[in-house]
Amino acid sequence: MMRMRLVRLVLLDAGIVAASVWLVFLLRFDFQIPQLYIRMLPCAILIHIVVHAACSFGFKAYNSMWRYTGMGEILQLLKVSALTFVGVIVVNLSAHLLVHSYRLPISIYSAAGYVFLGVTGLRIVSRLLNDGLVPSSSGTKDSFEGNLLIVGAGKAGILVTKDIKSSRFKFMNPVAFIDDDPAKQKLEIMGLPIVGNRSFIPEAVKQLDIAFIIIALPTASQSSILDIIEICKSTNAQIKILPSMTDILDGKLAVNMIREVSVNDLLGRAPVEINNEEIRENLECETILITGAGGSIGSELCRQLAVYRPKEMLLLGHGENSIYLIEQELRRLYPDQVIHPIIADIQDVSRIESVFQTFRPSIVYHAAAHKHVPLMEMNPVEAIKNNVIGTRNVAEASDKYGVKRFILISSDKAVNPTSVMGATKRAAEMIINDQNNFSKTAFAAVRFGNVLGSRGSVIPLFKRQIENGGPVTVTHMDMVRYFMTIPEAVQLVIQASVLAQGGEVFVLDMGKPVRIYDLARDLIRLSGLEPEKDIPIVVTGIRPGEKLYEELLTEEEGLIVTKNYRIMISRPQNVSRSELNLVLGVLENLCKRYDFVPNSYQIKKLLKQLIPSYSGFQEEPQVVTHEIERVKAEAHAGI
């Protein structure tokens, strides 16, 4: 294949050389070539072809792909032509010395110029055809689905235009650029006008009948991108975007990988800055246990921790399929990393003890938890067993087997909780805070809000509802939530774990809260549909355990800023160990007597006793409370 390509290129150049020499002879003799020179013409053409081919091979001119011809290739061809000019003179003079009758007019040597123009022109035409700047049968107006407006008339915008004309995006017809640089206004690039700055986008969409907008600003700040997206959302055009320069440099995406605008872009959050060297020094020689390793947060913890090449990684989870998937992914990306997949339930205290005794982890990231608010309201026993008793089991094993640091993944729902899930996460924080007071292990928690795309979160739900044609359901028009991407949250969790000295609750900077109703409208718009017109939005009412807004700390907790401005420390109030153990004992006993839990009243009452700020419990006089006292007595008696 390569040999055939080379033969074709050499033959094409040979044809151009022959035509150039013939043309020079015609011009020199006013299209009446004397018989003497007609006999010399074949020899002259052969000399030019051989010399030009030799020079082209010498400069590796045939190694370049014609459809990507640029200034470098043109300079290369100029060198070939200059050397060909000199070479032809030397060969012809040598031939004259050998055969005195062989003498060409000096003007014939100008053929080198025509050869340069011919071979360069051929390559430029190939480049133009590739870039779509020369009309072809595949690029008729009938094949376009809509006009395209490109935001950003820099190198990225030019690259996008070229790529669109020669790729899978040919269905878009580029018609204009938008750029904020005043010096570029009213100019043209690649035949397309720069029609105005970002404020002109809505008007440009109307005037030019724009169906697609591509934001080609990979080096722009997140706030600038968010501002442009907000302007574009006021139009009916589909919005696409180039990846950020951070993703390009990290190798995650290529500069020409045009993608849809995502919810992440709408958040407009600045990239996380972490101290990689400090983290590497603290993790590279450690045996790290990740509970809930198959979950959204747990699996991302595994991915990011593997980068620091710890001594061993213990992936612990209850679901075999999710653990298998993350194990296979890590083995493919980090074949030299020692990985132990462990199928275990954190509620099984003997199994957890066995894991710690066998592998002796030195750092624990406890991400295993039930986190779905409405489901835990309906299944409080499972919330207690997993989030409270399970946390206690892992924390006590960590203390017993000399773990250096234990990091609990907590939630903003633990602050002034209104739900069983939030209350159990607050109880988990209390457990590790109590453990820290009596242990050599540094116990700490990291508290943050919703993460985009995690299992059970609102984003996947909205996307499924949109794919099914609606309606999209929100529980309240004014409900707001803090959001963070999973990789962003995990980066800060790992940085916080290095900062942990024991007893801290790290609070992550979640940015500005987002109104869920606005998020639903944005997702519908990003899908190329109109809210209420194509996809209705239905307000269903607040579900049990939900609240309109989340908080990141209580009134009693103060905040201390760490050396990473995105991570703060709160110091929660200590709880009486005897009271904590008493309530935990009663809760555990209640969970064992599952048949005796009418409407989860007893569990919620005990959570209220342990967490006074818990507002999910309402007194019900008709419920007989002596059963609670009986269970407490049984707990004390060890029944």
Strand intervals (E) in 258-311 = 259-260, 287-291
Could you tell me if 613 and 555 are in contact, meaning their C-beta atoms sit under 8 angstroms apart?
Answer: no
d(CA 276, CA 166): 40
From the list 489, 480, 608, the residue with the least C-alpha distance to 546 is 480
**Residues β-bridged to residue 446:** 409, 506
Which amino acid would we find at residue 251? Answer: G
- Whose structure tokens read 């990846």? 243
Cis peptide before 471 (omega within 30 of 0): yes
- Is pTM beyond 0.85 here? no
Q: Is 112 helix (H, G, I), strand (E, B) or coil?
A: helix
Which among 388, 437, 370 is positioned nearest to 573, based on CA atoms? 437
- Tokens 């919330």 belong to 383
Q: How many residues does the chain have?
A: 639
Distance (Å, rounded) from C-alpha 335 to C-alpha 328?
Answer: 10
* Chain segment 2-59, per-residue pLDDT in tens: 677 778 878 888 888 888 888 887 877 778 888 777 777 788 888 888 887 888 888 7
Q: What is the mean pLDDT of the chain?
A: 81
CA distance 248 to 159: 14
The Cβ of residue 185 has, within 10 Å, a number of other Cβ atoms equal to 15
pLDDT of residue 559: 63
For residue 9, what pLDDT is reported? 79
For residue 239, what are the β-bridge partners? 213
Residue 515's beta-bridge partner residues?
480
Distance CA 292, CA 428 (A): 15
Q: Secondary structure of 14-29 in the HEC alphabet?
A: HHHHHHHHHHHHHHHC
Please, is 138 exposed, middle or buried when counting C-beta atoms within 10 Å of its C-beta (0-12, 13-18, 19+)? exposed
Cβ distance 452 to 483 under 8 Å? yes
Q: Which ranges of the chain have pLDDT less than 50? A: 134-143, 248-256, 553-554, 596, 599, 621-625, 627-628, 631, 635, 639
DSSP string, 556-620: S--EEE-SSTTEEEE-PPP--HHHHHHHHHHHHHHHHTTTS-GGGHHHHHHHHHH-TT--S----
Q: Could you confirm whether 165 is annotated as catalytic?
A: no
CA dist list (Å): 577 to 442, 563, 580, 587: 18, 32, 5, 15
What token pair was written down for 418?
A: 């209104």
For residue 598, the one-letter residue type is: P
Q: With contact defined as beta carbons under 8 Å apart, do 556 and 490 qualify?
A: no
Name the token pair of 471. 């309606």
Residue closest to 586 by CA, chosen among 596, 571, 574, 575: 596
pLDDT recorded at residue 393: 96
Residue 254 confidence (pLDDT): 47
Query: For residue range 104-161, what is the model confidence (pLDDT) as tens digits?
Result: 777 777 777 777 777 787 777 776 666 555 444 444 444 457 889 999 988 888 888 8
Q: What domains does the chain contain, in order, with CATH numbers?
A: 2-131 (no CATH), 138-261 (3.40.50.720), 276-451+483-510+551-570 (3.40.50.720), 577-637 (no CATH)
**Alpha carbon distance 406, 547 (integer Å):** 30
d(CA 14, CA 20): 10
Quick one: how far is CA 238 from the chain centroid? 20
* Structure token pair of residue 551: 């908080």
- Are 249 and 233 a contacting pair, CB within 8 Å? no
- Which residue, 473, 595, 563, is CA-closest to 523? 473
Looking at the DSSP bridge assignments, the partners of residue 539 are 474
Give, for 499, the enclosing helix (H) or strand (E). Answer: helix 486-499
Handedness of CA 445, 448, 449, 455 (dihedral sign): negative
pLDDT at 188: 85
Catalytic residue among 385, 413, 425, 604: 413
